[in-house]
């Protein structure tokens, strides 16, 4: 869908039509992110406006049964308590493309002030999100972006380039600079994983990584069982595999569990993005050496502060605007409404016990 078409659709479709259209529309990897340019509010920001109390912000993560999402939204809850706002959590049990649409429509009816969304598909949620924005609801994408013209800001956990670079750096080190690499991702439409994978591909195409060959991208859909089976499939199909990169906390935990009790343990390396609590056991038993992440609670915390700043008129989402985010300090909005939390942290046997999330 082109930018123009999606804007037109957002402008004219009635609610019922929005729901049915969005429900049938998954976005493929290639069309994800096709909307560029962004529609930012023309309202003027007043950085000195008082933070409103009683702001109603609903969090809609990719899925509810993911420990990572639970930690993320807990940070949002903390921030809204500090800001004297009202926290709400809703969401699907699976991370499929259209799973979030009906929740957005309900949140509009409930007259939430802000929706915080980790989009399962950058475009499938757009008609509903733009309907929300038309009704005065501010939209903060966090963790996994929606297309730029259907949200006000995007709270990114670290820079996309930085995360992709880190994944390749870790994989290259573990492979000793050469060999076959496979990726075990989340869903095929996930905006965040696809953006990171693009960076991984670009990095692997550079001369310094000529020895590393990406042989397969598998999708575990952020479901534990499917991820476990996909990990098993990769190891059986690629006997020369050196490293699996799993840029999802669900995927890396399932792959670590499989690897740990298989004959591949110690022969095939595993790295990616995981929570220290889920991977501690596998770092201690030698299945995983190094992996990365950020503090998921801080993603939700920053998203809530951005949401209240939007609802209070302190920011509109334009580049260069600044706002205060409680214990995290001041943030400046970057290009395309992006707010970057900070650099990722690398965990290994030496530091993992310092982290309890």
Count of other CB atoms within 10 angstroms of residue 335? 9
- Residue 145, interface with ligand RAM (CB under 6 A)? no
Is 103:60 a contact under the CB 8 Å cutoff? yes
40 or 192, CB closer to ligand RAM?
192
Binding of residue 143 to ligand RAM (CB under 6 A): yes
- Cite the DSSP H helix spans in 135-246: 160-175, 191-204, 224-237
Report the chain's C-alpha Rg in angstroms. 20
Token pair of 274, please? 């995981």
Binding mask 164-193 for ligand RAM (x = CB under 6 A): ----------------------x---x-x-
- 255 to 274, contacts with ligand RAM by CB under 6 A? 273
Q: Which of 197, 243, 250, 308 binds ligand RAM (CB under 6 A)?
A: 250
**Stretch of 4-12, 61-69, 277-285, 328-336 contacting ligand RAM, by CB under 6 A:** 61-69
CB of 120 to ligand RAM, least distance (A): 9
- Pair of tokens at residue 277: 């609590």
Number of H helices, E strands in the chain: 11, 14
Q: Measure the CA–CA gap between 78 and 59, rounded to whole angstroms.
A: 13
Minimum distance, C-beta of residue 87 to ligand RAM, in the bound complex (Å): 20
C-alpha span between 31 and 97 (Å, rounded)? 13
Per the CB < 8 A criterion, the answer to whether 220 and 187 are in contact is no
Q: Which residue of this chain has its Cβ atom nearest to ligand RAM in the complex?
A: 68
Q: Is 62 in the site for ligand RAM (CB under 6 A)?
A: yes
Cα gap 306→312, rounded to integer Å: 10
CB of 180 or CB of 223, closer to ligand RAM:
223
User: Residue 179: in which H helix or E strand, if any?
Assistant: strand 179-185
Nearer to ligand RAM, 58 or 250 (CB): 250
104: its two tokens: 């957005």
Binding residues among 196-235 for ligand RAM as defined by CB under 6 A: 222
Closest separation between CB of residue 226 and ligand RAM, Å? 13
Taking contact as CB under 6 A, which single stretch among the options 15-23, 46-54, 245-253, 259-267 is the one that binds ligand RAM? 245-253
Residues binding ligand RAM: what is the number (CB under 6 A)? 14
Asked if residue 142 binds ligand RAM (CB under 6 A), the reply is: no
* Binding residue (CB under 6 A) for ligand RAM from 248, 278, 287, 312: 248
Q: Which listed residue (249, 278, 314, 321) binds ligand RAM by CB under 6 A? A: 249
Instruction: State the Cα–Cα distance between residues 152 and 317, nearest whole angstrom.
Output: 5
CB of 103 to ligand RAM, least distance (A): 16
Which span (165-173, 229-237, 248-256, 319-327) binds ligand RAM, by CB under 6 A?
A: 248-256
Q: What span, in angstroms and rounded, lies between the C-alpha atoms of 34 and 3?
A: 7
Q: How many residues does the chain have?
A: 357
- Least distance from ligand RAM to the Cβ atom of residue 218, Å: 14
By CB under 6 A, residue 68 contacts ligand RAM: yes
On the 0-12 / 13-18 / 19+ scale of CB atoms within 10 A, 124 is buried
Name beta bridge partners: 213.
Answer: 180
Q: Tell me whether residue 260 is exposed, middle or buried, using C-beta atoms within 10 angstroms of its C-beta: 0 to 12, 13 to 18, 19 or more.
A: middle
Q: Which of residues 11-50 bind ligand RAM (CB under 6 A)?
A: none
In the complex, which residues of this chain contact ligand RAM (CB under 6 A)?
Answer: 62, 66, 68, 118, 143-144, 186, 190, 192, 222, 248-250, 273
């Amino acid at each position: 869908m082109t930018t123009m078409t999606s804007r037109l659709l957002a402008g004219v479709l009635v609610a019922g039509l929005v729901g049915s259209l969005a429900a049938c529309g998954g976005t493929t990897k290639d069309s994800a992110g096709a909307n560029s340019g962004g529609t930012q509010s023309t309202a003027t920001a007043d950085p000195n406006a008082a933070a409103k109390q009683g702001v109603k912000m609903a969090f809609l993560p990719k899925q509810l049964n993911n420990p990572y999402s639970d930690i993320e939204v807990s940070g949002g809850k903390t921030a809204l308590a500090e800001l004297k706002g009202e926290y709400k959590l809703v969401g699907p049990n699976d991370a499929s493309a259209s799973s979030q649409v009906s929740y957005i429509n309900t949140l509009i009816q409930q007259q939430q002030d802000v929706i915080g969304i980790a989009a399962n598909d950058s475009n499938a949620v757009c008609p509903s999100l733009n309907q929300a924005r038309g009704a005065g609801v501010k939209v903060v994408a966090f963790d996994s972006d929606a297309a730029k013209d259907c949200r006000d800001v995007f709270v990114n956990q670290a820079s996309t380039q930085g995360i992709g670079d880190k994944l390749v750096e870790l994989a290259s080190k573990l492979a000793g600079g050469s060999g076959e690499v496979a990726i075990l991702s989340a869903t095929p439409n996930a905006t965040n994983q696809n953006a990171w994978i693009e960076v991984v591909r670009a990095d692997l195409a550079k001369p310094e990584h000529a020895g590393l060959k990406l042989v397969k991208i598998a999708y575990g859909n952020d479901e534990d069982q499917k991820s476990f089976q996909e990990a098993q499939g990769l190891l059986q199909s690629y006997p020369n595999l050196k490293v699996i990169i799993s840029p999802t906390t669900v995927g890396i935990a399932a792959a670590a569990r499989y690897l740990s009790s298989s004959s591949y343990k110690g022969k095939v390396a595993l790295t990616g993005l995981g929570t220290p609590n889920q991977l501690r056991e596998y770092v201690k038993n030698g299945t995983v050496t190094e992996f990365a992440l950020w503090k998921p609670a801080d993603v939700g915390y920053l998203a809530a502060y951005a949401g209240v700043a939007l609802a209070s008129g302190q920011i509109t989402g334009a580049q260069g605007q600044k706002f205060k985010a409680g214990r995290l300090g001041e943030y400046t909005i970057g290009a395309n409404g992006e707010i970057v939390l900070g650099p990722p942290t690398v965990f290994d046997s030496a530091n993992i016990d310092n982290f309890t999330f």
